[in-house]
Amino acid sequence: MASRAGVIAIFAAIGFGIGFLAYMATPAMGTFLRDVLPTLTVDSSVIFATICGGAGAAISTITVTAWAKRA
C-alpha cells in the first residue's frame, strides 16, 4: 500500500504534466479551432483556458478512476 505522501506526490506530478502538456498544445489547438470556426467571436484566451481545463479534468478523472478500481 502506498503512503499518503507518495500518492499526493504522484497526483502532483500528474497535475504538473497535464498543465505542461496542455500549455504546450494550446496555441496549436486554439489556432486550429479559430480556423475551423471562423465565426467564433470568443477571445482566444478563453479558448486556451477551456482546452487546458478540459484536458486537466479528463486526465485527472481517468487517473483517479483507474486508481480507485485497482484492488
Q: What is the CA radius of gyration of the chain?
A: 16
pLDDT digits (tens, 9 = 90+) for 21-38: 777 777 777 777 777 776
pLDDT tier for residue 55 given thresholds of 50, 70 and 90: confident
What is the value of pTM for the model shown?
0.49
Tell me if residue 41 falls in helix, strand or coil. Answer: coil
Return the residue matching grid coordinates 487517473: 63
